[in-house]
């Protein structure tokens, strides 16, 4: 379906305009600034969607209206949007003059994306073009982008911490190959040395005791020889000394003396305990730092993988979505057409693709509204017109133009003053 007739009264800068676009050619609206040409396109949007205009009634008037006749293939509807100070009122009639119930709902089923202006699309930056096509294809990556941003932020922090950990690791001395696994207690070594010194002292005392006992034994024997009268007493003393001597010898025999090498080794261990313990601490610190650096590298790799997974999910969504033109592709760098970035295509090719995209957005009510048409040369206008004729679309083009030209409806002060260069009577 297309627009078969348009009547606008007292809207924005328009006083009264009636357009019959039955020629099949693009409807080109020309005029100087603030004369009403933009208001025509705004009126079409207002009629169909009840949006797009703030303060729509022409100043000094109490009401305004837009009347549209749309149709094609033996189907025809007439809709009128009346606006008053109290609100907007829509009437929709079918070809038999019967009112269509739930008129706006019915229209919404026909409407496409009239905000998709082919010329405006060509002027967008690459990422804006991608966003526009995503919106056109119904793709919403807001949730995935938020999740990706979180992983990216976490990965940045992990990467920074990982670099700090790696730098800290380089400042630590590598542990000696002979570094013990655990620190040695100096207190235990000293206690062991003291124990060995005690045994040496006891041995000396026992040895002295044996020597004294031996001397006493000899003296007693002499006393027995000299004093026969005190023999019994002396014999008891001898027995006592012999027993004492025996016990001392047995105790002496049980003592295992440390060698000079043992004592020297104990002293060396005490002297070296701090050095050994320092090696142990260095080894523990190095292992901990090495583990931290490894853990951060693992976490960084995990976050990188998650970011890649999100990018792959987005790419798969874009790949599987229904884009309007074969060869059209959405990437992070911009829109590609057959592998070539959109902004590297010729102007004519950019306009051709943008027009085909706009047409895909409006499959039922086949109209395309184009603003800033003055930026389009005659060759590109012909290209767009040929595409529209080939596919059955209707172009409504607004062009800034101070004087009337040979083609188009020239608007002055809210009314059509010239048609194809000829003044309106």
Predicted confidence (pLDDT) per residue in 218-242, tens digit: 887 787 677 677 667 777 877 888 8
Q: How far apart are CA 138 and CA 254, in angstroms?
A: 97
| Each residue's pLDDT tens digit, 88-129 | 888 888 888 898 888 888 887 777 666 667 777 787 888 887
Enclosing H/E stretch for 298: helix 260-320
Distances (CA, A) of 398 to 26, 391, 407: 10, 21, 12
Per-residue pLDDT tens digits for 321-363: 656 677 777 777 888 878 888 788 887 787 887 878 777 777 7
pLDDT at 224: 67
Distance CA 121, CA 354 (A): 7
Strands 27-31 and 394-400: parallel
Residue 410's contacts (CB-CB under 8 Å, 6 or more residues apart) are 30, 31, 401, 403, 404, 416, 417, 418, 419, 421
Q: Residue 370 has which token pair?
A: 């184009």
Angle in degrees, CA 25, 31, 32, rounded to 5:
160
Sheet containing strand 75-84, edge to edge, reads 14-19, 2-11, 63-72, 75-84, 88-94
**Angle ∠(419,74,89) on CA atoms, nearest 5:** 70
423 or 368, greater pLDDT: 423
Class of domain 2-114+362-423: alpha beta
User: CA angle at residue 56 from 50 to 61, to 5 degrees?
Assistant: 130
Claim: this prediction has a pTM higher than 0.85: no
DSSP three-state, residue 26: coil
Q: What are 245's two structure tokens?
A: 């001597």
């Amino acid at each position: 379906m297309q627009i078969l007739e348009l009547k606008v009264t007292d809207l924005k800068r328009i006083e009264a305009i009636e357009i019959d676009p039955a020629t099949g050619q693009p409807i080109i609206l020309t005029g100087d600034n603030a004369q009403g040409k933009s208001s025509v396109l705004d009126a079409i949007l207002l009629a169909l969607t009840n949006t797009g205009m703030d303060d729509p009634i022409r100043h000094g008037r109490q009401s305004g209206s837009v009347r549209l006749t749309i149709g094609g293939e033996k189907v025809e509807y007439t809709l009128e949007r009346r606006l008053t100070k109290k609100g907007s009122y829509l009437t929709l009639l079918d070809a038999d003059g019967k009112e269509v119930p739930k008129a706006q709902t019915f229209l919404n089923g026909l409407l496409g994306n009239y905000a998709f202006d082919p010329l405006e699309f060509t002027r967008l930056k690459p990422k804006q073009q991608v966003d526009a096509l995503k919106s056109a294809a119904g793709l919403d990556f807001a949730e995935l982008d938020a999740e990706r941003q979180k992983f990216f932020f976490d990965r940045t922090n992990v990467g920074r911490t990982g670099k700090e950990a790696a730098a800290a690791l380089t400042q630590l001395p590598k542990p000696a190959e002979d570094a013990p696994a655990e620190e040695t207690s100096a207190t235990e070594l000293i206690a062991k040395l003291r124990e060995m010194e005690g045994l040496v002292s006891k041995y000396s005392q026992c040895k002295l005791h044996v020597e004294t006992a031996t001397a006493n034994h000899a003296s007693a024997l002499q006393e027995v020889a000299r004093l026969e009268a005190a023999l019994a007493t002396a014999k008891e003393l001898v027995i006592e000394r012999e027993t004492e001597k025996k016990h001392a010898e047995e105790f002496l025999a049980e003592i295992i003396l440390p060698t000079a090498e043992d004592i020297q080794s104990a002293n060396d261990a005490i002297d070296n305990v701090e050095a050994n313990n320092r090696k142990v601490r260095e080894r523990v610190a190095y292992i901990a730092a090495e583990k931290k650096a490894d853990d951060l590298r693992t976490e960084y790799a995990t976050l990188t993988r998650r970011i890649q997974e999100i990018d792959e999910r987005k790419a798969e969504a874009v790949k599987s979505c229904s884009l309007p033109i074969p060869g059209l592709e959405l990437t992070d760098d911009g829109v590609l057409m057959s592998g070539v970035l959109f902004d590297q295509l010729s102007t004519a090719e950019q306009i051709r693709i943008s027009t085909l995209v706009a047409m895909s957005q409006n499959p039922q009510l086949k109209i395309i509204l184009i603003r800033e048409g003055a930026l389009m040369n005659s060759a590109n206008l012909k290209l767009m017109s040929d595409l529209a004729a080939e596919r059955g679309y209707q172009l409504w083009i607004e062009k800034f133009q101070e004087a009337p030209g040979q083609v188009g409806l020239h608007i002055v002060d809210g009314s059509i003053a010239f048609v194809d260069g000829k003044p309106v009577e």
